[in-house]
Structure 1
Amino acid sequence: MTSPILNARSQARSLALALGAAAALLLPAMPAAAQGSEQFVALPSYRVGPYGANGQSWYGGFIDYLNYVNLKEGGVNGVKLSWEECETEYNNAKGVECYERLKSKSTVSRGTAYHTMSTGISYALVDKTAADKVPLVMMGYGRTDAVDGSVFPYAFPLVTTYQMQVSAIVKFLTAKNGGSLAGKKIVYLYHDSAYGKEPIVALQAEAKLGKFNLVEIPVAHPGNEQGAQWLKIRQENPDYVIFWGWGVMNQTALKAAQKVGFPRDKMIGSWWAGSEEDTVPAGEAAKGYMSATWNVAGKHVPLIADIEKVLYGAGKGNMQDKAKVGSVLYNRGVSAAVVTVEAIRVAQGKFGKGKVMSGEDMRWAFENLDLSNARLQQLGATGLLPELKTSCENHEGSGKVKIQQWDGSKWVVVSDWVEGNKNLIHPLFKATAAQYAKEKGMKPACLKS
């Protein structure tokens, strides 16, 4: 005969198990981060803090595409994609902590490819990712000298670097001024961080070559105090302001420009200062403002329209604010995920379809990308990024941007592809790459497959 005490314990245990099972059913569905049969993608993201709104759209688009590939295709050749986010708050130390935590989630992929969306965090990780043999992907940001794969085999500043981007902006302004900026004055207003400092050497070289006067004005993080800077800009009375802002700094600058009477159509920003998150809050102050971009905004892109149909139609989208689907940063996040998934396909094509790819496999794939316009069209991704063709000598793969302008309600592309001055810029980053190799005691060499 069972004792009352043992019976009570048995009932309590059964009740606890039942409650636990019920609670599990109520938890939100999350990707299984460390399944051996899945390609685990680490996401050191940020959704809070002064740059959180930007991260929400970018990482929302990235995750939506991973989920879309799982639902639409069953993964990549049968290999499902899984992922896990870790909040960095755009903080370098937290970015490193997230990397250390995420890389152990899969002993095979070690995270597949790290997209930190932060130049500072990328600088902090460039040696760590190389030692751990996993790609650090910096799409449109990060170290320019990482274009040289013989020195930075695991770092990929894809699409266009900051130095090539600022060179393209100068080329665009030169064309607007009849082919010469000689005697003009340009203010470079920038976020006082690795992100804002990265283009300076290129802009100084452009000023020397183009014989225009350059005035450099930094803005302290997070950039919501710019009174002194815009007072100086009013005093300098420049012909143009090249603007390297991020987050709250961007709308603050547009409002300040309006306040001091500086024409917004004489301001041209980097692609991280050219999203709806920047212009909509600035209201009328943003009208006429221009920025560089590599991707278009809008749901007219077939891939974006299908993501909305497949995911959000089924209630499985990542974005809480569905209105941001199709925005500049959302589409840019999708573009980064497209490149990552295409690299997984390329890796599988060489190392085995239907297998989980290692960090070393992915390194080879990112160095051997050939993402043509024909392939982008097949994906429904025309306009999300330019053609990409990488090699050991060129981890950038493109070097082109377009210029867009805010018409008061939407972004309108106002140029064709503009390529920076390679003859001027490439020797600059090759010199710093060589110096880096010397400091590290490295002998530059392309890795063999």
Structure 2
Amino acid sequence: MNLKKTVILGAAVAGLLGSSMAIAAEQFIGLPSYRVGPYAAGGSGIYGGWIDYMQMINERDGGINGVKLAWEECETEYNNARGVECYERLKEKGETGNSVFQPLSTGITYSVLDKVAKDKIPLVTMGYGRTDAADGRVFPYVFPLITTYWSQATTMVKYIAGKEGGTDKLKGKKIALLYHDSAYGKESHAVLEKMAERYGYELTKLAVAHPGNEQQSQWLQIRQLRPDWVILWGWGVMNPTALKSAAKTGFSREKMVGVWWSGAEEDTVPAGSAAKGFTAAGYNVAGADYPVIKDIEKFVYAKGHGNMEDKSRIGSVYYNRGVVHGLITVEAIRKAQEKYGKGKALTGEQVRWGFENLDMDDKRLGELGATGFLPPLKTSCMDHEGSGKVKYQQWDGNKWNVVTDWIDADKEMVRGMIEESAAAYAKEKGITPRDCSKEM
């Protein structure tokens, strides 16, 4: 081979390498997971489903418009200090830094709330966290997506009212709120108190200390109070303990309604027969027959790449919730690529725009193989929640069965509370709210 041919061949190889590098962009997603500690069942299920969905996107689609997804887990143990450490460790990873931070912890959410706007990393708190962050004018980088604790609380009252024969039948009823004594557990208080004033029911709040396996005094109070309904706002071991305690006390589980962190198989199976008849809220449903789950089995597990050691958890409430996390995150990145360019890794600031402009209607959910799996979702500068819809599932002793359609939150009441609280936060922090008319 002469020198001229060598130079040409070298240039061709360099061009191929350059082309390969150009199309090998990776979108980095930091995962502040918890697979150990008292809440490991929730963390392992949700992050497992999320990782499986991202793996499926890489295997089936080659990524998002050619951009492969990359991720790294950081163990938080559901501990606030560790969560902040993970945030700092992950924020500059990857080609363009971390795309999104989703800690699955209200406590960690509060701990990094002031950091995300400075670092321009979207903080997604799907179904948890600070509800007033739904006001995107004050919290441009925070997204309590699908439905918030306040919205969920209003649907709980609607569900109970439906069982009682209407909201007018709530007057004089007694509702006990058995809640996890944490920032998460206290999120529902303002809404349930406000609705108690409106509908005339008597609300009794009973705190349960972390981790929740000591509830004797609370159930003694419930026995004495004789409430018509118990709302279980629990987490982890607190949930099966509450269901077993209800059975021992003689309180009907059909008169118990759980928050979505009390409504998974990990909450009911350990309670055995004591869980039968218990109903819980959800912004996703259980089941492995949805096309999106079938694709994960086909493109991930059939190739030996699945994240779940226990494959029986595929299709469970927590696993499917993780799939929802993955699905919405991917859709936000896909949406952001429409604005900032397909085929390249995006910054957290650019991905933030994608989260703020989601439009997942029934048609799009059908294309994603997720009809009925989660509610339609449409976000905006003003509204970082985007839905507010909740379904209820009941445990029959073996599995969860959907017993309602999507129930709409009392958006008018909740939105007023959101704007009032967000305005107070803005004043306290010296934040000038965005003008959403300029964000169109």
1:428 aligns with 2:417: yes
Q: Report how far residue 417 of structure 1 moved.
A: 1.0
Matched with 1:106 is 94
d(CA) in 2 for partners of 1:296, 1:211: 32
1:204-247 per-residue CA deviation (whole Å, 9 max, x = no partner) reads 00100010000000100110111111111111100000110011
Query: Paired residue for 1:185, among 174, 179, 191?
Result: 174
Matched with 1:214 is 203
TM-score normalised to structure 2 length: 0.93
What's the counterpart of residue 108 of structure 2?
121
Equivalent residue, structure 2, for 1:324: 313
User: Are 1:332 and 1:384, in contact at CA under 8 Å, matched by a contact in 2?
Assistant: no
- Percent identity between the aligned chains? 60
Write the distance in 2 (CA, Å) between the matches of 1:260 and 1:174. 24
Secondary structure in 1 aligned to 2:109?
helix
Q: Distance in 1 between matches of 2:412 and 2:335?
A: 30
Of 382, 389, 398, 1:409 maps to 398
Residues 334-345 of structure 1: pairs in structure 2 closer than 5 A: 334-345=323-334
| 2:370 counterpart of 1:386 | no
How many Å separate the matches in 1 of 2:347 and 2:76? 24
Q: 1:243-265: CA deviations, max 9, x gaps?
A: 10011111111001101111000
- In the alignment, structure 1 residue 294 sits paired with structure 2 residue 286: no
Match for 1:277: what amino acid?
E
SS in 2 for 1:346: helix
2:35 matched residue in structure 1: 47
Q: Give aligned pairs, total.
A: 414
> Does 2:149 align with 1:162?
yes
CA drift at 1:383: 2.2
SS at match of 1:362: helix
CA contact (8 A) 2:95 2:345 kept: no
Distance 1:139 1:446 in 2: 25
Contact 1:153/1:446 (8 A) holds in 2 = no
Match of 1:304 among 293, 308, 323: 293
**Counterpart Cα distance in 2 of 1:36 and 1:430:** 43
Counterpart residue type for residue 338 of structure 1: L
Q: Tell me the C-alpha RMSD between the 2 structures.
A: 1.2
- Asked if the contact 1:149/1:446 (under 8 Å) is kept, the reply is no
Match of 1:241 in 2: 230
1:269 counterpart letter in structure 2:
G
2:16 alignment counterpart: none
Structure 1: distance between partners of 2:265 and 2:128:
19
Residue type at the aligned position of 1:59: Y
Query: SS in structure 2 opposite 1:40?
Result: strand
| TM-score w.r.t. length of structure 1 | 0.91
- Asked whether the equivalents of residues 403 and 413 of structure 1 are also in contact (C-alpha less than 8 Å), the reply is yes
Contact kept? 2:286, 2:400, Cα under 8 Å: yes
Aligned to 2:432: 443
**Aligned-partner Cα distance in 2 for 1:323–1:172:** 31
Question: Counterpart of 1:369?
Answer: 358
Match of 2:83 among 84, 90, 95: 95
**1:427: how far off?**
1.2
Measure, in 2, the Cα distance between the counterparts of 1:95 and 1:250.
24
Deviation at 1:309, TM superposition (A): 2.0
Aligned amino acid, residue 359 of structure 1: G
Could you tell me whether the CA contact under 8 Å between 2:26 and 2:94 is conserved in 1? no
Read off the aligned partner of 1:325 and give its amino acid letter. I
Residues 116-155 of structure 1 mapped to structure 2, 5 A cutoff: 116-155=103-142
Unmatched runs of 5 consecutive residues or more in structure 2: 1-22
Could you say what secondary structure the match of 1:188 adopts? strand
Instruction: Report the more deviating stretch, 36-45 or 59-68.
Output: 36-45
Between stretches 232-241 and 301-310, larger displacement belongs to 301-310
1:36 positional shift: 8.3
SS at structure 2 position matched to 1:438: helix
Amino acid at match of 1:41: I
Give the distance between the partners of 2:310 and 2:92, measured in 1 at CA. Answer: 32
> Aligned partner of 2:307: which letter?
N
8 Å Cα contact 2:179/2:185 also seen in 1: yes
Residue deviations 1:279-311, cap 9 Å, x none? Answer: 011100000000001111111111102211221
The alpha carbon displacement at 1:414 in A equals 0.7
